[in-house]
Structure 1
Amino acid sequence: MPSSSTNARHSWLVLYVLLILAIPNLVLRLEADPQTTEAGHGCSSITYANTTVFKENLDTVFSQLAKNVSSTGFGTASAGTGINTVYGLAQCRNDLSKEDCNTCYTAAQNQILIYCPEDTGARMIYDGCFLRYENSSFFDQVLDVGYSNVCISGASSSPKLFNETVLNLLADIRSRALKNEGFAKGEISANGLPTAIYGLAMCRRTLNTSSCDLCLQTAIQIIQRCFSLQDGRALEAGCYLRYSTVAFFSTSSSSSPSKIVLILVGTLGGAALIAVLCLLFICRHSFRKLHTKFSSRSRREETEVYFIAEEDPNWDHLFSYDSLRSATKKFDPSMKIGEGGFGQVYKGIFNDGREVAVKKLFSQQSTRASDDFVTEVKLISAVRHRNLVRLLGCCTRGLEKLLVYELMPNMSLDRHLFAKTVKPLSWKKRFEIILGTAHGLAYLNEESPFRILHRDIKPANILLDNDFQAKIADFGLARLFPEDRTHLTTRVGGTIGYTAPEYAVHGHLTDKADVYSYGMLVLEIVSGRKYVDSKLPAHMELLLQWAWSLYEKNEAFSMVDERLIEEEPEVNREEILKIIQIALLCTQGVPELRPLMSKVVSMITSNTDILVQPTQPAFIDSESTPNELGSANVEWMEGPSVASSHATVSISLEPR
């Protein structure tokens, strides 16, 4: 009979073997990364004959690409005939696992429809995959008409040596890529440089060797505009090229730290290994506290930047990229709770059960430094109001920028207005949302420590707490992307309908732009429909035009949500008509005719009638143009209904 000590040794041995077998899998899991950092995107539009047919063909192409990518990491597809034909191509990096490839492709497909909802051509470029569709074949296209490069700031202390080293690396991976089906990666070190440099080259698999070579040679010329900086990408129609001082792929060197760790672990005894693991587990929390206390202050040169408002004792957690990635299950699509003009929003659940909303901002092709981003977030976080969503902190890593907000249990307003499966909001709740949003905007535009113009007021950016109180989201984000208005006017389906005409056409931005958007929002809240609905009769298709025509005929109450009337037959008719009048005042074509948001709050809460009558809103008379809009001086007046006939309004119009 074996002794008890022998059994014990066998037990230790079995445990030891299991641990050794499990560790490589664990390491591989930890290294899994779908590389969904955005490198760039683009939209192109050519008139198509039938919108419905084109979109059906696009869905077919997406379905075929998904199947091909799932099995081989690459695919081309086409569907349809004539002008409505759709051609598509998707390709993952050769070193991505099937799971990560599928995740990257799914993210690209979802995002490309957000950026280019009505376009006949689009491309989405992530670090891990590429997706493109057009209504003409592009599979053999090598170069774009222009060029695109993405550079990340952080200059090298030895620029000449750094640039020479990068050039040597790029030449090496270009040469190897031509012999390896258009894909190669590598790293290089040089005496005098503090870190190694990593590089990766990838051609579309539809290109032959000579076309791939031409593309990579061109990409090397483009990427030199980033030289002396820590990270650079070149994006061409037929290839992708990147270098970085941060390892953005798993290295294969036999002397890599991960392999050394595995060898050392493999030589340890089972008991020693368990003891080490237990010790690490016990010390983990203490170490993390020390690390988070000093890391953001003493190592500003790191690629990740964490932010916390130290003056607020409730902000006791530093949001690292890894913690947010874990809380959102690696930004799993099942955790996504919304998306808008600035990014996708995920629900995050930390180990302690705390729930937050994590907004993953769309990457911008900009060299804005992480410190600048953090400074802007600090400014935004100083803005506090009961009708604003609270910003908890931020994190950046490379081109990725994340914001962490308090989680709103009742999600966004659009889900309650437009989803027919959701119980319609009562008029009391709608009125409180209208008033709460006005309070929040008045604070942002006129009362906050520094004036903030939201620029993107719409139902998706009005969140609702447990009591359905309105809280404005995404305020201040336009400060982070001041150079780019495209997301407001052309790139995000739906947003253009809320944009003030003088801003959308001429770029004239004042606080009256937010007033216009607010007016459109109010009309949607009252009517329970979107600003445009092509399924309705022509005279009702545009909400603003329909509302104005009803108002002119003294039939404005006809626009009220039918579901609301069914639920509340005795709803306050006078209050609703007053709110409609305020909405139309906010959407007037001449900015100076629109009231300030503080005046809107006063009108909503006042028991007196509004004596100012709205003029015709903008963009509904096909014979007029934005250039014909004048400037106006208006004296806003209110009074009791019995005196309304005695009120006067002084309006003077002057041509521009």
Structure 2
Amino acid sequence: MPSLNTDAGLSWLVLYVLIISAIPNFVLRLEADPQIVEAGHGCSLINTTNPTAFTENRKNVFSLLAENISSTGFATASSGNGTNKVYGLAQCRNDLSMADCSQCYTAATDQIVKYCPFEIGARMIFDGCFLRYENETFFDQAVDAGNSNVCISVVSSSPKLFNETAQRLLADVRSKAVKNEGFATDEISANGLSTAIYGLAMCRRTLTTNSCDVCLQHATQLVERCFSLQDGRGLDAGCYLRYSTLPFYTISSSSSSHSKTLAIVVGTLGGAALIALLCLIFIFRQSLRKFYRKVPARSQPDEAEEYFAADEDPKLNHPFNYDSLRAATKNFDSSMKIGEGGFGQVYKGVLSNGREVAVKKLFVKQSTRASDEFVTEVKLISAVRHRNLVQLLGCCTRGKEKLLVYEFMPNTSLDRHLFGNSANSLSWKTRFEIILGTAHGLAYLNEESRFRILHRDIKSANILLDNDFQAKIADFGLARLFPEDQTHLTTRVGGTIGYTAPEYALHGQLTEKADVYSYGILVLEIVSGRKYVDPKLPAEMELLLGWAWNLYEKNEAFSVVDRRLIESDPQVNREEMLKVIQIAFLCTQGAPELRPFMSKVVSMLTSNTQILAQPNRPAFIDNNSTTNTSLDSGNFGWMESSSGPASAATVTNSLQAR
């Protein structure tokens, strides 16, 4: 074998890496993937009367579930007595490894408490796992009113053939799951379709065979509403049913061809794994040598801290002391917690000099991806400075602990003011300044800074407000550099469903116009004072974008405006509001080339001239309601979300509140 120190040796190693990278997409599912893509969640409409006791019992249940699910992929538990008793159930998909299962469960417990802090019942459904708790037993429940379907809005070119094929597939996996202890996967192809269709059916293990069958039949009815579309899920109390034109599971319980393919792939990977490992060791050793030459006194270099040390801006050369940050946040006490993102929790901290800061603590158990986010956020946000971007003050690492320190925003995030009890405090003047400030920040990122940066997760929760309610864009963990010589990036999908541009959600094609689309949704939320989805409203009003567009087509766009603004100021600037609504629709047009650049948006917002451009119908809206986000009333108000990176196969046009 050639020496690793020669150019020929390096070329030989690179060749093997290229061979590995050429393995088909479905092979990539062999890698660790906890499938932490939210399909749905729901909270009871009733709050506990004894939060202290109930919360403690729920915490005990989560601990008991964690002990068992890490070894079996399934667990039930209960804790407490009387009205404060809590029952819990957790289950992972059969094809997940135990490590991925544990990671999915941990994410589910974090999210369910965030969404439903004091409700007596809640459920959290990721693509990889399910978590539910109630104050009464529910283990044998197969169906209930809190069901939903989630669909991707891409119509097949052969809808009739596609529907028939998908129907056969769902019938097949449903039948096999009933006979196979509640789990089955399969795929089916048909002449005339450009791709195979993949299906998965899973029941909770507490259900009887008959109850499993009943639940899957009911889920089939939900999924059938998605037919002709690329991807569909049926979510019910006792089961999960899904089809997709892209492979999304690791194993197949019914296809021997998959087993053969898997064996071939394992053999290929086995032969190349050693080479890939040697290549990584070689690169790592070379990096260490270069780094030690620069910083000989450092024994365990960290990429993010190395970046800080090398940066020319002295204000960034400030790696905080871990103990001082721990003291500033009272040992990261829950009373100091002010927010949570896809990968980390945010705490208020008071430094020894009295300065208030925000400390973002990345989730340790997601070490690889959290580390990537840490380095990304450090590098990108420290490379830019703008009055409408949250300022990064420094960082700190301690083993797997990774902390980012930001300036403190006393008025928290925009979503808390828009959708919380304090929404009346936001006048139209304040809202317009937030809209304009966010546009300035995005224009700087996308077009004006020394790097072209795509944020990828613009939403109300990531717009922070300072003392004067000036907007500052935050959370750069998903941001990407956009090279000048490229028309788009093709990447795994990240961000928050509902704000995600269609071309990015469906095909992974990322440009600055994806941020423009997200901005348009955000503007509609600011103007209307409502979330982009509200299942409590009538069906025709549930989706903000569709409802607002229908009013716009009827020349009734002013009806989109938050009634509280008009009631507080009858002389409100009607023309300015209508202009902002028109800009929002220009930003959400289906074709990315029709959306304006953010610099143009700033120009339109600050100009007194009339906007001549007329928007086309926004993306994901059509006369047949192909958004396919149906909700049934019941004890649960269903909302669905996605946080963090996800593959195009798992991205859905779902409902979400985050």
TM-score, normalisation: structure 1: 0.53
Report if aligned partners of 1:78, 1:88 keep a CA contact under 8 Å in 2.
no
Task: Answer yes or no: is 1:66 the counterpart of 2:59.
Answer: yes
> Deviation of residue 123 (structure 1)?
8.5
Q: What does residue 502 of structure 1 align with? A: 503
Report if aligned partners of 1:457, 1:498 keep a CA contact under 8 Å in 2.
yes
Question: Distance between the aligned counterparts of 1:454 and 1:322, measured in 2?
Answer: 31
Question: Distance between the aligned counterparts of 1:561 and 1:50, measured in 2?
Answer: 26
Letter in 2 for 1:469: Q
> Deviation of residue 499 (structure 1)?
0.6
The DSSP-based 3-state class of the residue aligned with 1:423 is helix
What is the total number of aligned residue pairs between the two structures? 410
Residues 485-525 of structure 1: CA deviation (Å, up to 9, x unaligned) = 4652xxxxxx2111111111111111100000000000000
Q: What does residue 236 of structure 1 align with? A: none
> Deviation of residue 225 (structure 1)?
13
Question: Distance between the aligned counterparts of 2:33 and 2:337, measured in 1?
Answer: 21
Q: What does residue 566 of structure 2 align with? A: 565
Q: Structure 1 132/582 Cα, relative in aligned 2: closer, same or farther at 3 Å?
A: closer
Question: Distance between the aligned counterparts of 1:507 and 1:364, measured in 2?
Answer: 27
Report if aligned partners of 2:414, 2:463 keep a CA contact under 8 Å in 1.
yes
Task: Answer yes or no: is 1:320 the counterpart of 2:313.
Answer: no
Question: Distance between the aligned counterparts of 2:383 and 2:500, measured in 1?
Answer: 26
Q: What does residue 335 of structure 1 align with? A: 336
Residues 109-157 of structure 1: CA deviation (Å, up to 9, x unaligned) = 3346569997446889xxxxxx9669979xxxxxx999xxxxxxxxxxx
Q: What does residue 597 of structure 2 align with? A: 596
> Deviation of residue 397 (structure 1)?
3.4
Report if aligned partners of 1:455, 1:513 keep a CA contact under 8 Å in 2.
yes
Q: Structure 1 396/297 Cα, relative in aligned 2: closer, same or farther at 3 Å?
A: farther
Q: Structure 1 228/133 Cα, relative in aligned 2: closer, same or farther at 3 Å?
A: farther
Task: Answer yes or no: is 1:87 the counterpart of 2:115.
Answer: no
Question: Distance between the aligned counterparts of 2:476 and 2:343, measured in 1?
Answer: 11
Larger radius of gyration: 1
Task: Answer yes or no: is 1:301 the counterpart of 2:335.
Answer: no
Question: After superposition, where does 1:203-218 map in structure 2 within 5 Å?
Answer: none
Residues 546-574 of structure 1: CA deviation (Å, up to 9, x unaligned) = 11011011111111111111111100000
Q: What does residue 414 of structure 1 align with? A: 415
Q: What does residue 383 of structure 1 align with? A: 384
Q: What does residue 245 of structure 2 align with? A: none
Question: Distance between the aligned counterparts of 2:66 and 2:369, measured in 1?
Answer: 33
Task: Answer yes or no: is 1:470 the counterpart of 2:476.
Answer: no
Q: Structure 1 72/106 Cα, relative in aligned 2: closer, same or farther at 3 Å?
A: closer
Question: After superposition, where does 1:384-463 map in structure 2 within 5 Å?
Answer: 384-463=385-464
Q: What does residue 618 of structure 1 align with? A: 619
Question: Distance between the aligned counterparts of 1:49 and 1:107, measured in 2?
Answer: 13
Name the stretch that deviates more: 471-480 or 551-560: 471-480
Letter in 1 for 2:110: N
Report if aligned partners of 2:457, 2:494 keep a CA contact under 8 Å in 1.
no
Question: Distance between the aligned counterparts of 1:575 and 1:422, measured in 2?
Answer: 20
Letter in 2 for 1:582: I
Q: What does residue 544 of structure 1 align with? A: 545
Report if aligned partners of 1:306, 1:394 keep a CA contact under 8 Å in 2.
no
Structure 2: which 5+ residue stretches go unaligned? 1-31, 69-74, 79-86, 92-104, 117-121, 141-182, 186-273, 281-293, 482-488, 628-658
Residues 403-441 of structure 1: CA deviation (Å, up to 9, x unaligned) = 211111111111111112453311111111111111110
Question: After superposition, where does 1:478-517 map in structure 2 within 5 Å?
Answer: 478-479=479-480, 485=492, 487-488=494-495, 495-517=496-518
> Deviation of residue 475 (structure 1)?
3.3
Q: What does residue 110 of structure 1 align with? A: 110
Letter in 1 for 2:526: I
Residues 565-604 of structure 1: CA deviation (Å, up to 9, x unaligned) = 1111100000000000000010011111100101111111
Structure showing greater relative contact order (alpha-carbon pairs closer than 8 Å, 6 or more residues apart): 2
> Deviation of residue 399 (structure 1)?
3.7
Question: Distance between the aligned counterparts of 1:44 and 1:372, measured in 2?
Answer: 16
Letter in 1 for 2:386: H
Question: Distance between the aligned counterparts of 1:123 and 1:49, measured in 2?
Answer: 14
Q: What does residue 578 of structure 1 align with? A: 579
Report if aligned partners of 2:381, 2:391 keep a CA contact under 8 Å in 1.
no
Question: Distance between the aligned counterparts of 2:608 and 2:414, measured in 1?
Answer: 27
Report if aligned partners of 1:409, 1:465 keep a CA contact under 8 Å in 2.
yes
Question: Distance between the aligned counterparts of 1:403 and 1:49, measured in 2?
Answer: 29
> Deviation of residue 384 (structure 1)?
0.6
Question: Distance between the aligned counterparts of 1:111 and 1:435, measured in 2?
Answer: 31
Question: Distance between the aligned counterparts of 2:571 and 2:510, measured in 1?
Answer: 41
The DSSP-based 3-state class of the residue aligned with 1:569 is coil
The DSSP-based 3-state class of the residue aligned with 2:421 is coil
Question: After superposition, where does 1:181-330 map in structure 2 within 5 Å?
Answer: 298-301=297-300, 307=308, 311-314=312-315, 317-330=318-331
Report if aligned partners of 1:453, 1:514 keep a CA contact under 8 Å in 2.
yes
Report if aligned partners of 1:308, 1:393 keep a CA contact under 8 Å in 2.
no
Letter in 2 for 1:446: E
The DSSP-based 3-state class of the residue aligned with 2:406 is strand
Structure 1: which 5+ residue stretches go unaligned? 1-39, 80-84, 90-104, 125-130, 138-143, 147-223, 231-294, 489-494, 627-656
Letter in 2 for 1:301: Q
Question: Distance between the aligned counterparts of 2:77 and 2:372, measured in 1?
Answer: 45
Report if aligned partners of 1:348, 1:355 keep a CA contact under 8 Å in 2.
yes
Q: Structure 1 52/443 Cα, relative in aligned 2: closer, same or farther at 3 Å?
A: same
The DSSP-based 3-state class of the residue aligned with 1:414 is helix
Q: What does residue 25 of structure 2 align with? A: none
Q: What does residue 651 of structure 2 align with? A: none
Q: Structure 1 454/378 Cα, relative in aligned 2: closer, same or farther at 3 Å?
A: closer
The DSSP-based 3-state class of the residue aligned with 1:442 is helix
Residues 9-43 of structure 1: CA deviation (Å, up to 9, x unaligned) = xxxxxxxxxxxxxxxxxxxxxxxxxxxxxxx9945
The DSSP-based 3-state class of the residue aligned with 2:549 is helix
Q: Structure 1 55/420 Cα, relative in aligned 2: closer, same or farther at 3 Å?
A: closer
Name the stretch that deviates more: 615-624 or 297-306: 297-306
Question: After superposition, where does 1:150-165 map in structure 2 within 5 Å?
Answer: none
> Deviation of residue 371 (structure 1)?
10
Question: Distance between the aligned counterparts of 1:565 and 1:305, measured in 2?
Answer: 53
Task: Answer yes or no: is 1:527 the counterpart of 2:528.
Answer: yes
Report if aligned partners of 1:112, 1:123 keep a CA contact under 8 Å in 2.
no
Q: Structure 1 429/484 Cα, relative in aligned 2: closer, same or farther at 3 Å?
A: same
Q: Structure 1 227/367 Cα, relative in aligned 2: closer, same or farther at 3 Å?
A: farther
Report if aligned partners of 2:491, 2:510 keep a CA contact under 8 Å in 1.
no
Name the stretch that deviates more: 428-437 or 305-314: 305-314
Residues 298-331 of structure 1: CA deviation (Å, up to 9, x unaligned) = 1142678794676445557431333322222222
Letter in 2 for 1:562: R
Question: Distance between the aligned counterparts of 1:70 and 1:476, measured in 2?
Answer: 29
Residues 264-300 of structure 1: CA deviation (Å, up to 9, x unaligned) = xxxxxxxxxxxxxxxxxxxxxxxxxxxxxxx986114
> Deviation of residue 402 (structure 1)?
2.0
Q: What does residue 170 of structure 1 align with? A: none
> Deviation of residue 367 (structure 1)?
5.2
Name the stretch that deviates more: 356-365 or 533-542: 356-365
Letter in 2 for 1:87: L
> Deviation of residue 352 (structure 1)?
1.7
Report if aligned partners of 1:457, 1:517 keep a CA contact under 8 Å in 2.
yes
Letter in 1 for 2:89: Y
> Deviation of residue 106 (structure 1)?
10
Question: Distance between the aligned counterparts of 2:38 and 2:386, measured in 1?
Answer: 45
